[in-house]
Structure 1
Amino acid sequence: MQDPIKTLFTECIQTQIAAADMLQEPIEMACNLLVDSLLNGRKVYCCGEGLAHATSRHFAHIMLTGLSFERPPFPVTSLHADYGALEYDRMFAQQLQAVGQPSDVLIVFNASERAPRVSRAMEAALSRDMLIIALTQNSDVDIAGLLGPDDVEIRIPTSNAARASEHLLQISNMLCSVVEHRIFPQETD
């Protein structure tokens, strides 16, 4: 039983090392985009495909309540995943069509290969002149092609959905922490 568990730890560590080498620049770009948007009164919306939607909700929660210290809430909303919606594939897109404004930010999370609901949300965001931050993984086939020159992709260096899911959570925490400290530099841990 120990060998499979050690193998999982090893896979996780290897993905961590690869991510540390590859993702510093796109995470920095995403933080800059978030700070600029928040300081200019823009809103941030987020959603995730499948299980990655839990990371979207986590991200919205820590951006509202604070991660590192007590602070005013940031205007971040996780789009509602109404699985009883009549147009299930358009559930995120419809919400953005109702509330999204130019220069607002959409953050999408996806740990799998396909992302039909998130892709539709991205199309809606593009039609509203919103900016996009996409957290994806190596085998993504739906999201990267929708990104424009002002958007940011954070592509986790794995095709393993479990390793990608772990990193989605870690990167969402990193984004919140960096944004908090840039907007409130007087605060310390």
Structure 2
Amino acid sequence: MTDIAKLASVEAELREIGKNFEAFAGQAVSVSRAAHLIVDALATGGKAMFCGNGGSAADSQHLAAELMGRYLMDRKPLPALALTVDTSALTAIGNDYGFEAVFARQLQGIGRPGDVLIAISTSGSSANVVAAMHKAREMGIHTISMTGADASPMSKLADVAVRVPATRTNRIQEMHIAAGHIICGLVEAALC
């Protein structure tokens, strides 16, 4: 491939990303509602818990760290954690109860009514994330789903559904982290 062909490919990718974000701007309400739900949970003594698989697991850890550490300002830590980080719990639960239970079982152990679960999946149908959302509903834990454009079990289960306007995994993930950053900024500004 020539340098010009590579450049054209890069430009096409960037234009596609720009179009996706332009379309996503029309969903500002869902992003704002998600932030509000987290603010309400944290303001009343609850915590934010994140879960997802693969890249969404990494996003879960990233966003929990933004709240626990700092996003844009120095402030007290906000109670947030990713259910994706404890390899002993993940492997023990997966071994004893099946991979589908790895998040729901942790949620059952540490979740409380008034907490909020932020469930992230590009497909919106990851069995273990859907199971966690069902468990959250049983327990009085609010739910936020972050998925792609297609209707999914997760978007139907969520108190607030953030459905980004993309169907390819990489494009969905790009918008998930942007939405997550916006949410963290709104939460931090409201509580600090």
Normalising by structure 1, we get a TM-score of 0.90
d(CA) in 1 for partners of 2:145, 2:130: 10
d(CA) in 2 for partners of 1:25, 1:73: 26
Equivalent position to 1:34, from 20, 24, 38: 38
- What is the aligned partner in structure 1 of residue 3 from structure 2? none
The SS at the match of 1:46 is strand
Q: Which amino acid aligns with 2:110?
A: V
Q: Which ranges in structure 2 are unaligned for 5 or more consecutive residues?
A: 1-5
Q: Which amino acid aligns with 2:80?
A: V
- What is the aligned partner in structure 1 of residue 165 from structure 2? 157
The SS at the match of 2:144 is strand
Distance 1:5 1:140, change over 3 A: farther
Q: What do residues 40-92 of structure 1 show as CA deviations (whole Å, max 9, x unaligned)?
A: 10111111133211000000001001111111101101003545331211100
Q: Say whether the 8 Å CA contact 1:60–1:77 is kept in structure 2.
A: yes
Q: What do residues 98-157 of structure 1 show as CA deviations (whole Å, max 9, x unaligned)?
A: 11111210001112353111101101111111100111111353312223xxx1011101
Percentage of pairs with the same residue: 27
The SS at the match of 1:143 is helix
- What is the aligned partner in structure 2 of residue 95 from structure 1? 106
The alignment yields a C-alpha RMSD, in angstroms, of 1.4
Q: Which amino acid aligns with 1:38?
A: L
- What is the aligned partner in structure 1 of residue 141 from structure 2? 130
The SS at the match of 1:93 is helix
Q: Between Structure 1 and Structure 2, which shows a larger proportion of helix residues?
A: 2
Q: Which amino acid aligns with 1:20?
A: A
Q: Does residue 29 of structure 2 align to residue 25 of structure 1?
A: yes
Q: Which moved more, 1:1-10 or 1:36-45?
A: 1-10
d(CA) in 2 for partners of 1:38, 1:47: 18
- What is the aligned partner in structure 1 of residue 119 from structure 2? 108
Distance 1:48 1:140, change over 3 A: farther
Q: Say whether the 8 Å CA contact 1:116–1:142 is kept in structure 2.
A: no
Q: What count of residue pairs does the alignment treat as equivalent?
A: 180
Q: Does residue 18 of structure 2 align to residue 7 of structure 1?
A: no
- What is the aligned partner in structure 1 of residue 186 from structure 2? 178
Q: Say whether the 8 Å CA contact 2:61–2:84 is kept in structure 1.
A: no
Q: Any residues of structure 2 matched to 1:11-90 within 5 Å, and which?
A: 11-21=16-26, 23-80=27-84, 82=87, 84=91, 85-86=94-95, 87-90=98-101
Q: Say whether the 8 Å CA contact 1:134–1:154 is kept in structure 2.
A: yes
Query: 1:172 offset after TM fit, Å?
Result: 1.0
Normalising by structure 2, we get a TM-score of 0.88
d(CA) in 2 for partners of 1:139, 1:115: 14
Q: Say whether the 8 Å CA contact 2:57–2:84 is kept in structure 1.
A: no
